[in-house]
Structure 1
Amino acid sequence: MIPAVEADRPEIEAFLDARLPRAMFPRANLAHYGMVSPGGAGGHRLAMRFWLQREGGAVTDVLGATAEGFLLPACPTGPWAAAAGALTGESVGALIGPAEEVAPLRAALGLGQAPGELDEVQPHFLLDLAALEVPGGPGRLVPFADAPEALVTGWLRDYFTETLGTPLDLAVVEAGRAFRQAAEAGSHAVLMEGDEALAMTGQNARLPSIVQIGGVYTPPALRGRHHARRAVALHLAEAQARGVTRATLFAAGPPAIRAYEALGFRRIGDWALCRFAAPQRVRPDGAAHG
């Protein structure tokens, strides 16, 4: 695989667009935070670097990495040996993407035994918003910027620890940052009934025609009342009103799966999330180390 440069960007965009929704994160990060050359510095922590595999002059695989070292593969032909060679010396903090790509890439990089904070495979879902039906119930959506900050930041902390396995001390820091970023971006909202907050929902990746749902949470005392289901549906209705036609997400457990299937989401595959306890350096012999 060869490092991509800015001149390759149109090809990369076209390739990732053709693979949506399985390539949402690298495509949305590229759209919102831009691209830097491998080895380059600066830019947003989610700015993208890419390596390309070509055959007959056409791009067959795209391997993306955020500036903070999260690998986001879009590699349908499985160029794992080439990917390992391209990443030698790189620091890897996580692998996120289709399970059938993350597993062999992780093995090729020698990361199979690296200690992780999160190591899960979750079902991946897609919904055509033409079929969306918003369930009845209490509450209206309020953007993070107008929501009770202390309460929602606490929810984000609990979401990070419960769903993503983030250590508590780090979750406290991440929750504050996540609230500020989401409030500024207008990407997340809270279902409110009067002064009572019922659930939160978010769009972790957004493109003109498709959004990736994430950050969905209901506090334990309010679960089982379909608040999160309504929050997600209302948020998707807002997206549909601005021209979005599809939504995708992955689900953390049976209650979430039931809620999303009730909204019409249908499974399209499996999604892998692997985040390491410490960044792992890829060595030439394929035996990565912290």
Structure 2
Amino acid sequence: MNVKLLRAFDTKKLEEYLAPYKAECMFICSNLKAVGIEYRGEDFQGEYFGYLNPTSNNLYGVIVHYWNGNIMMHAINYQVLEHLVIELKNNIKRPVAGILGPNKQAEEVINHLGLFNANYNLNVKESLYKINLETLTESIIPNNFAVVKAQDISRELLINWMKSYDIEALGASNNDELEKEVEAHWNTRLKTNDNWVLLYDGIPVSLCAFNARIEEMVQVGPVWTPPEHRNKGFARLILTQMLVQEKAKGTKKAILFTDNPAAIKVYKNIGFNKIGEYRLALLEKPIKIKEIKI
């Protein structure tokens, strides 16, 4: 078999493989850029397994098991993907929490791992959208609005918003464990400057963030407006402002994935176009793959 655990000296090879597929693999590209290819148990790190062509020694695919239990993948065909999953199953040491990636490939991984009958908080096919930021025009924010960093609003409010987001958008259960998970997640997220809140007359009304970033592209998520502030254009206003800001920095593109009809309408009005399909499969509880009986 031509699959191996990738090391630091394989980084350039992996970057070259991922280059044509960045929009489908933004989490992988962003994590690789931020923390490197080797796993030492830290946030955003993962174990990267790559399939190398025996003749050219070029990469033909990659599958990653990340620090948080999520598995992500990309391969040039299903035969390569099958080899990658076999190697992952033989070497996996930590539980699996979710499977994310291009829809068909993620479905294949779910099936090969024996997770098709598992219990999920969320297991959906979402549409993948992209916008060329050069198409955006300057947007003037009205005087009674302001955009601030998420760090500058009430921590209690932010955590409550993100708990509600996880329940509504990700199928999470409303319990004490969720509070701990959201706290831990946003402790990490707030170390970056990619999270903003829209204020209307000084009152927080909507949140927008980027959850992955490389030099020329950002990935949008989450975008959240609490129910009492919806249908007033707040999400569109803050997202447009942040994309215009990214354009000014030289960022060329933005992507996102969603299955929410109301959100899709907003994103299309901004200028996003559908480019593919993405699967988001989040298990109710992490599962040890080697204990699954297929």
Does the alignment reach a TM-score above 0.5?
A: yes
Q: Kindly tell me the number of residue pairs found equivalent between the two proteins.
A: 283
For 1:117, give the aligned amino acid.
N
Are 1:186 and 2:188 counterparts?
no
Identify the residue that residue 59 of structure 1 maps to in structure 2.
Answer: 59
SS for the counterpart of 1:110 is: coil
Q: Does 206-215 or 130-139 show the bigger shift?
A: 130-139
Deviation at 1:135, TM superposition (A): 7.6
Partner in structure 2 of residue 35 of structure 1: 37
In the alignment, structure 1 segments of 5+ residues that lack a partner are none
Q: Secondary structure at the match of 1:277?
A: strand
Deviation track 1:24-77 (CA, whole Å, cap 9, x = no partner) reads 00110111122225xxxx332320221111222211111122123211101121
Q: What percent of counterpart residues are identical?
A: 22
Shift of 1:136: 5.8
Amino acid at match of 2:104: E
Matched to 2:186, the amino acid is F
2:157 pairs with 143, 151, 157, which one?
Answer: 151
Tell me: CA distance 1:173–1:135, structure 2 relative to 1, closer, same or farther (3 Å): farther
Aligned to 1:81: 82
Residue identity matched to 2:163: R
Which position in structure 2 is the counterpart of 1:107? 111
Q: Deviations over 1:190-247 (max 9, x none)?
A: 0012321110000000111100000110110111111001111111112112111100
Runs of 4+ aligned residues of structure 1 deviating over 6 Å after TM superposition are: none
1:253 corresponds to which residue? 260
Partner of 1:11: 13
Q: Work out the CA distance in 1 between the residues paired with 2:182 and 2:151.
A: 15
Write the distance in 2 (CA, Å) between the matches of 1:180 and 1:48: 19
Unaligned runs of 5+ in 2: none
Secondary structure of 1:123's partner? Answer: strand
Sort the Cα spacing of 1:240 and 1:108 in 2 relative to 1 into closer, same or farther, 3 A.
same
Contact kept, 8 Å, 2:63 with 2:85, in 1: the verdict is: no
Counterpart in the other structure of 2:147: 141
Query: 1:135/1:222 Cα in 2 relative to 1: closer, same or farther (>3 Å)?
Result: farther
3-state SS, counterpart of residue 11 of structure 1: helix
Return closer, same or farther for 1:272/1:231 CA change in 2, 3 Å cut-off.
Answer: same
Q: Does the 8 Å CA contact 2:50/2:84 hold for their aligned counterparts?
A: no
Which residue number corresponds to residue 126 of structure 2? 122
Match of 1:204, SS? Answer: strand
- Mapped contact 2:49–2:88 kept (Cα < 8 A): no
Asked whether the 8 Å contact 1:122–1:250 carries over to 2, the reply is yes
TM-score, structure 1 normalization: 0.91
**Contact kept in structure 1, 2:194 and 2:209, CA below 8 Å:** yes
Partner of 1:95 in structure 2? Answer: 99
User: 2:6, 2:37 within 8 Å by CA — same for their partners in 1?
Assistant: no
**Secondary structure at the counterpart of residue 186 of structure 1:** coil
Report which stretch shifted further, 44-53 or 124-133: 44-53
Tell me the distance in 2 between the aligned counterparts of 1:274 and 1:172.
21
Amino acid paired to 1:250:
F
SS of the residue corresponding to residue 185 of structure 1 reads: coil
Q: CA RMSD in A?
A: 1.9
Comparing 182-191 with 80-89, which one deviates more in the overlay?
Answer: 80-89
Q: Alignment partner for residue 205 of structure 1, among 190, 212, 224?
A: 212
CA shift for structure 1 position 139: 1.9
Cα separation, partners in 2 of 1:179 and 1:84, compared to 1, 3 Å: closer
Structure 1 residue 288: Cα displacement: 2.8
Query: What's the CA shift for 1:92?
Result: 1.8
